[in-house]
Structure 1
């Protein structure tokens, strides 16, 4: 039987309607008399035309809007009640690879020598947020000796408004990571490079905003789960780190301090320590003073139980975050570990950050736990 919503049935009904209409127009002069037969002929032709047109229009509308999905649905012959089935959120299908490009180095462009950069799309199962990202897979990921190995992962966040592409082109994260891996200062590590901005152009400061976008949930819950469905990554939080500059640096520290079960190491390059409120952020806290305190990192170090995480803060004597960095140093307590990089001079710019990335990656190499084999 033809499908009720299928195109073939719609075509047949449309052809029938056209034929009936044409036949009515052809035969109408024959029904011009005043006898009862002429009256019945006109009424029959009129009803047949109307019925054919209505059936064709109804089938086309049903196919478009989906009012009835099948003949049994239309005729009401299947009256079996539905069954409730409970489900748990799944990260399957939450990540798709949308593009690839070679990584060029002194060793050439072969992926088993220099690695590979993939562009991905991530859909947050819990947060409902989505974002594009770039993933750098180190050369070892493709080498036979590492075929059964899992890898540590570092989430790399740009500032606001920022650009994930700049993390590759200007800040040279893949190239710096490859150099550190070759020098055995960093274990082979997968980099996931992203913007911290997920909700239009709003600066959410990576927060779960009351009644608004749940950005922290995306980065600390949705993203690790989605990545695990596609890549050979470790599941231990000690094998995951987050790095960022400016806004990304604030987000990195906050993820580690608030969600140590997501990331155990965090690096902040010129990051600040409390979320600003301005025209780009809007109301982040919904008037909740306690929530504002909990997102103040110096306040957290002083007033909440110490998290078992390792933090690296990069600043310079010229930076606006220098005093805040000293406050962080004075506030932390064990088991939190805190280290700093302080340049003699350096502003809030890419040149400063590229000077800090190599020593930061070397520090990270001492913090990451290398996962067990797959």
Structure 2
């Protein structure tokens, strides 16, 4: 039995653990004077009782908020990284051609296809799971030769690509939005921003000092791979990023750090600065310049670029509202900042599913249409938006200065 098959959000599980917690609490006074060695016995039963109460409360909150349905989703592990996809296109998408008949068959019924690949970064050497959504138009004869806009969707911590399909239901929603002309046919790339193990490895999508160059992988490496394997647009107006929670911060940070490649970002219940906690550890190791270069509000103020941002915050979440206000204060033309202060709904997957249709509707007016792609894809449309000089983390392959080599 794998962790991904163990449900932790059901009422029987919550009630069972609550019952165990009550027994442990009752055992503390009942055993208090019965221990041969009172000190270790009393300490042990008290600690166990407290831990079980914490676990029971955590499971109750998780079930109420629909955060993590299985133990595997909590731990961020899966025995099947292809879960939720319709085919495996192989390492670096080498078998993409073999999957296209299945993609075409689904397109006949108006469905896009979510494919699984692993992508090894040309610059960083990192290998990660990546899911790719191809809209039904991708294989349609009328769209032959067209290059499609790209939405890079960043999963939340400790999430992974499969959760965007299995928990968010994003592919079905994309099908609906595209079919009703509320979103142009769009290729959606869903990368793994962390790799395994996930539970104590929250990369925050940055090039960490002395760590992995996750920012470079998610920007330069994935872009280079997509341009070489997929019919996607190469200009910045054809690329957007989005995500929820930590994925929202990632989307904002990638976009404002690399405005030469991204023009649009959406943050759903995200923030504007990288935390330092038990999950992230110390990503900066005393480098104030690297921390500052990953502060979204500081970048908006000091390196304004023509990016269009949507920042959503729960009305009852003080930290989300504070981040939204900091970005409001920092943003000035040519930045276009749209902010949504939403009714209190909690920081959970139910809120994500409720907000997604409106978010995709906002993206409809921001993401470019497919374009005739009979010419060479290129890397960057010349002279559109210059990169700003990024500090050097010292990690092999990481972007720094004004290097835009993908």
TM value normalised by structure 1 = 0.70
Match of 1:150 in 2: 147
Q: How many angstroms apart in 2 are the aligned matches of 1:102 and 1:157?
A: 28
Stretches of structure 1 lacking an aligned partner (at least 5 in a row):
1-92
**1:306: Cα distance to partner?**
0.6
- Are 1:112 and 1:140, in contact at CA under 8 Å, matched by a contact in 2? no
**1:221-245: per-residue Cα shift (whole Å, max 9, x none)?**
0001111221100000110111111
Question: In angstroms, what is the RMSD of aligned CA positions?
Answer: 2.3
Match of 2:113 in 1: 116
**1:200: Cα distance to partner?**
3.8
Match of 2:288 in 1: 289
* 3-state secondary structure, aligned to 2:182: coil
Q: How many angstroms apart in 1 are the aligned matches of 2:221 and 2:181?
A: 31
- Are 1:306 and 1:336, in contact at CA under 8 Å, matched by a contact in 2? yes
- Are 1:157 and 1:243, in contact at CA under 8 Å, matched by a contact in 2? yes
* 3-state secondary structure, aligned to 2:372: coil
Q: Is residue 313 of structure 2 the alignment partner of residue 310 of structure 1?
A: no
Q: How many angstroms apart in 2 are the aligned matches of 1:103 and 1:330?
A: 49
Q: How many angstroms apart in 2 are the aligned matches of 1:115 and 1:278?
A: 39
**1:199: Cα distance to partner?**
6.0
- Of 116, 131, 136 in structure 2, the residue corresponding to residue 134 of structure 1 is 131
* 3-state secondary structure, aligned to 2:229: coil
Q: How many angstroms apart in 2 are the aligned matches of 1:301 and 1:96?
A: 39
Using a 3 Å threshold, how does the CA distance of structure 1 residues 175 and 188 change in structure 2: closer, same or farther? same
Match of 2:159 in 1: 162
Q: Is residue 193 of structure 2 the alignment partner of residue 196 of structure 1?
A: yes
**1:95: Cα distance to partner?**
4.0
After superposition, residues 65-76 of structure 1 pair within 5 angstroms as none
- Are 1:205 and 1:275, in contact at CA under 8 Å, matched by a contact in 2? yes
Q: How many angstroms apart in 1 are the aligned matches of 2:252 and 2:258?
A: 10
Which deviates more, 319-328 or 121-130? Answer: 319-328
**1:102: Cα distance to partner?**
11
Which deviates more, 282-291 or 136-145? Answer: 282-291
Match of 2:171 in 1: 174
After superposition, residues 1-374 of structure 1 pair within 5 angstroms as 94-97=92-95, 109-110=106-107, 113-198=110-195, 200-201=197-198, 202-302=201-301, 304-319=302-317, 320-374=319-373
- Are 1:136 and 1:174, in contact at CA under 8 Å, matched by a contact in 2? yes
- Are 2:184 and 2:370, in contact at CA under 8 Å, matched by a contact in 1? no
- Are 1:102 and 1:110, in contact at CA under 8 Å, matched by a contact in 2? no
Q: How many angstroms apart in 2 are the aligned matches of 1:94 and 1:180?
A: 28
Using a 3 Å threshold, how does the CA distance of structure 1 residues 171 and 368 change in structure 2: closer, same or farther? same
Structure of larger gyration radius: 1
Q: Flag the structure with more relative contact order, 1 or 2, with Cα contacts below 8 A and sequence separation at least 6.
A: 2
Q: How many angstroms apart in 2 are the aligned matches of 1:244 and 1:196?
A: 11
- Are 1:155 and 1:241, in contact at CA under 8 Å, matched by a contact in 2? yes
**1:97: Cα distance to partner?**
4.6
- Are 1:246 and 1:269, in contact at CA under 8 Å, matched by a contact in 2? yes
Q: How many angstroms apart in 1 are the aligned matches of 2:121 and 2:281?
A: 23
TM value normalised by structure 2 = 0.65
Q: What is the number of residues matched between the two proteins?
A: 278
- Are 1:103 and 1:117, in contact at CA under 8 Å, matched by a contact in 2? no
